[in-house]
Amino acid sequence: MDTDAEPRIEFNDLPAPDEVARAAAADLHGALIKPAGSLGRLEQLGVWVASCQGQCPPRPFTRPRVVVFAADHGVAAKGVSAYAPEVTGQLVGSILTGVAPVNVVASAAGASVRVVDVGVTSDTPRPVASFKVRKGSGSIDHEDALTDDETRAAVLAGMRVADAEVDGGADLLIAGDLGVGNSTPSAVLVAALTGSEPVAVVGRGSGIDDTAWMRKAAAIRDALRRARAVLADPIALLRTAGGAEIAAIAGFLAQAAMRRTPVLLDGLAVGAAALVAEELAPGARSWWVAAHRCGEPAHALVLEHLDLEPILDLDIRLGEGAGAAVALPLLSTATRLLAETATYEQAGVTPPVIAPPLG
């Protein structure tokens, strides 16, 4: 086979958000009918949106989109989750029928939802499974999650989904994850890329008891030994200790940056994928905002490593993109404040008189 003809995972000439638009948006906030800085973080978020869109004032979002990537994990058979592995496929069905938490939250936020099966063990409808790379994954405590070809196929799937969504008009993206047991490989990736020890990243995930927590800690410890041996290669790291949906999300996040499209990051699994995406496409994090602080300890390490300040802190650890969708109305508000608030000149309001400093 001619490998030169195969799709490549490359993120050359990654664009940066527009600094001219960022500066113009910051200046505009100073001209609006309000005390300077009085809207706090909302001002920073609106400026970020303007820089991503490359214009000031920014456009209000018209097609925010949640894409949930789903896959199963072999390590779930080790009892690291409160749920049986077959629940992943059942939850895909709940999203398709519109009754999952992410459907409810996204609808309230004005976003639509898509689910993509890249590695669910059970069969799902063909349109959902069109990017499926395999059924399930290896148990990462003693074997690779995926083959090298499967890993690349999953990353490319995420990239293609991002392209399709942007080409279809999406102007804000949210990646969601779905997979019983996926907080275990997520924690391994976070520990590997942040140089942390297993005990610092083991959380309660789906609500496990102490016995399951100890099984999870052991699985993370064993998988981390294997992951550290391939730390310098992001694809090998995903192959060794990731999973199909995490690999796909990494490709999705990196390609969204290539397509100059802002992303709201969700919780732990998306955060772990974001760490890998930043390795694949250095600088991609400039196109992301952390929607919330997840209730998992490893997520705090993600935020610190990517230097991202979360919008919300509600102890959400569901996944599915639900936490990010909760934050979407605040980001939309920040955007509309810049686009629709009058300036002092437009409103005929006298601007503040700044007194000279004392002394």
By annotation, the residues acting in catalysis are 320
Q: What distance in Å separates the CA atoms of residue 274 and residue 314, rounded to the nearest whole number?
A: 21
| Amino acid identity, position 184 | T
**Number of C-alpha atoms within 13 angstroms, CB side, residue 98?**
4
Paired tokens of 77: 């058979």
Paired tokens of 138: 């290896």
**Number of C-alpha atoms within 13 angstroms, CB side, residue 274?**
33
* Cα pseudo-dihedral 181, 183, 188, 189, rounded to 10: 120
H and E: helices and strands count for the chain: 13, 5
Are 169 and 209 spatial neighbours (Cβ–Cβ below 8 Å)?
no
| Amino acid identity, position 84 | A
Which residues fall within 8 angstroms of residue 145, CB to CB, at 6 or more apart? 73, 74, 137, 138, 151, 185, 238, 239, 240, 241, 242, 243, 244
